[in-house]
Amino acid sequence: MSNIKEIAQLSGVSKSTVSRVISGRGYTSQEARNKVLKVIQELQYKPNAVARAMVSQRTHNIGILIYRSHYPVVSHPFYGKILDAILAASAQMNYSVFVTTDQEMSFRSADFMLEKRVDGLILISRLEQNVIDHIGKFGVPYVMVNGSTDVSGVIHIVNRDQDGGREAARHLTGLGHRRIFMLAGPQSHRSHHLRLEGFRSYLNEQRLECSDSSIAYPEASTFEEGYRKMEENWEHFQGGQYTAVFGTNDMIALGAMKFLMEHSVKVPGQVAVMGFDDIETASILTPSLTTIKVDTEKMGRLACVMLDKLIRQEAVEDTAIELAPKLVIRSST
């Protein structure tokens, strides 16, 4: 199809009428709408995305919303990997992708995507319930990645973070550590909360010390916060009170390890350090970081596959997809 002018001429309507039909905005009589759609149908042999969208009621666009209160967002080593996987999978499925981020948990980002007339949405990280409810009003299919909701029937793809926390505790205690300091990221986030919960539950089962004083809570899941919290609690390590540190993500753990090494603490000789996620940096540094691997690539790929099924209105049996974590042992423990 060449342009709106040609459609208008063949339909016997004005260009503004054609625009209203294509955009779905403004009043158009059913008779005029039918004329326009008929011409679009007849001319569909020509490669025009708008025409195909009007006939099939699909735009072949999907939106990605990343909700995260602190920078970095897209460049974050965890969320960036998920995003890369989504972009690769969506390209194979012939979807174009819009990406936006939101620090304030507002409706603004969701409304931006809906205005783009996306076929579906991928929501990454935690969301407040009012945002989920707002999106649900528009009938646009969506899946959640690394976050969940109480709304029934919503597909969410998550890591079994509690199991990963238990595996981390099992590894450190298996090496003989009995006095472990925990750096637990923001507990409002599902992943950090469950990782800490799993870690503590294993220690409790083994009747090992797990007091509140052995836990510090970085305000963000960043390298800088891991470093800062270790600095605040340095006196406990000077007295030899702890022999290991567990961070609920790799960035926090790496920040802690940086501080320890700057203060001449041998890792793992004097203090072992362990993280969670298995970001690329974990394997590059010296000593390399022992961690719990989250399959971010599989998360992103599955998000596209499941969203495509929803868009095609195919049956989906399993709405709760939980990926198994994997222990990756390196030199920091």
Question: What pLDDT tens digit does each residue of the chain (333 aa) get?
Answer: 457 788 888 889 988 888 777 766 567 788 888 888 888 777 753 445 555 454 446 678 898 888 766 666 666 788 889 999 999 999 988 898 988 776 555 666 677 677 767 899 998 876 667 777 777 777 889 999 988 776 778 899 999 999 999 999 999 999 999 999 999 999 988 899 999 999 999 999 999 988 899 999 999 989 999 999 999 999 989 888 999 999 999 999 999 999 999 999 999 999 999 999 999 999 999 999 999 999 999 999 999 999 999 998 888 888 889 999 999 999 999
| 282 within a domain of the structure (yes/no) | yes
Is residue 180 domain-shared with residue 275, that is, in the same domain?
yes
| 111 within a domain of the structure (yes/no) | yes
Global pTM exceeds 0.75: yes
* Predicted pLDDT of residue 78: 86
* Residue-wise pLDDT tens digits, 31-68: 888 888 888 777 753 445 555 454 446 678 898 888 76
* Predicted pLDDT of residue 1: 42
| 331 within a domain of the structure (yes/no) | no
Is residue 241 domain-shared with residue 198, that is, in the same domain?
yes
Q: At what angle do helices 4-11 and 15-23 cross, to 10 degrees?
A: 110
Of 19, 39, 56, the last residue of a domain is: 56
Identity (one letter) of the amino acid at 134? Answer: H
Token pair listed for 205: 């089962």
Residue that the structure tokens 């609690």 belong to: 233
Is residue 174 domain-shared with residue 213, that is, in the same domain?
yes
Is residue 114 domain-shared with residue 66, that is, in the same domain?
yes
Residue 323, φ and ψ in degrees, nearest 5: -95, 140
Is residue 152 domain-shared with residue 183, that is, in the same domain?
no
**321: Cβ contacts below 8 Å, ≥ 6 apart:** 155, 156, 157, 158, 302, 306
* Predicted pLDDT of residue 25: 59
Residue that the structure tokens 């590894």 belong to: 171
> Quick one: 23 exposed, middle or buried, by C-beta within 10 A (0-12, 13-18, 19+)?
exposed
* Predicted pLDDT of residue 199: 98
CA distances from 214 to 186, 232, 241, 309 (A): 16, 13, 10, 46
| 270 within a domain of the structure (yes/no) | yes
* Residue-wise pLDDT tens digits, 147-202: 877 677 889 999 999 999 999 999 999 999 999 999 999 998 889 999 999 999 99
CA distances from 249 to 237, 273, 275 (A): 21, 11, 5
* Predicted pLDDT of residue 266: 96
CA dihedral 169, 170, 171, 176 (to 10 degrees): 90
| 328 within a domain of the structure (yes/no) | no
Is residue 153 domain-shared with residue 302, that is, in the same domain?
yes
Is residue 21 domain-shared with residue 103, that is, in the same domain?
no
Of 56, 78, 100, the last residue of a domain is: 56
| 329 within a domain of the structure (yes/no) | no
* Predicted pLDDT of residue 242: 95
Is residue 50 domain-shared with residue 197, that is, in the same domain?
no
Is residue 194 domain-shared with residue 288, that is, in the same domain?
yes
Is residue 76 domain-shared with residue 173, that is, in the same domain?
no
Rounded Cα gap, residues 228 and 78, in angstroms: 21
Rounded Cα gap, residues 123 and 144, in angstroms: 5
SS3 labels along the chain: CCCHHHHHHHHCCCHHHHHHHHHCCCCCCHHHHHHHHHHHHHCCCCCCHHHHHHHHCCCCEEEEEEECCCCCCCCCCCHHHHHHHHHHHHHHCCCEEEEEEECCCCCHHHHHHHHCCCCEEEEECCCCHHHHHHHHCCCCCEEEECCCCCCCCCEEEEECHHHHHHHHHHHHHHCCCCCEEEECCCCCCHHHHHHHHHHHHHHHHCCCCCCHHHEECCCCCCHHHHHHHHHHCHHHHHCCCCCEEEECCHHHHHHHHHHHHHCCCCCCCCCEEECCECCHHHHHCCCCCEEEECCHHHHHHHHHHHHHHHHCCCCCCCCEEEECCEEECCCCC
Rounded Cα gap, residues 266 and 240, in angstroms: 12
Is residue 192 domain-shared with residue 117, that is, in the same domain?
no
- The neighbour count for residue 250, using CB atoms within 10 Å, is 27
| 330 within a domain of the structure (yes/no) | no
Rounded Cα gap, residues 219 and 192, in angstroms: 12
In the chain, the number of structural domains is: 3
| 140 within a domain of the structure (yes/no) | yes
List, in sequence order, every residue forming a beta bridge with 98; answer none if it has no partner.
Answer: 63
Question: In this structure, what CATH number is given to the domain that contains residue 309?
Answer: 3.40.50.2300
Is residue 166 domain-shared with residue 289, that is, in the same domain?
yes
Task: Give the range of the structural domain holding residue 15, as residue numbers without chain letter.
Answer: 4-56
CA distances from 8 to 19, 40, 42, 61 (A): 9, 10, 13, 25
Identity (one letter) of the amino acid at 177? Answer: H
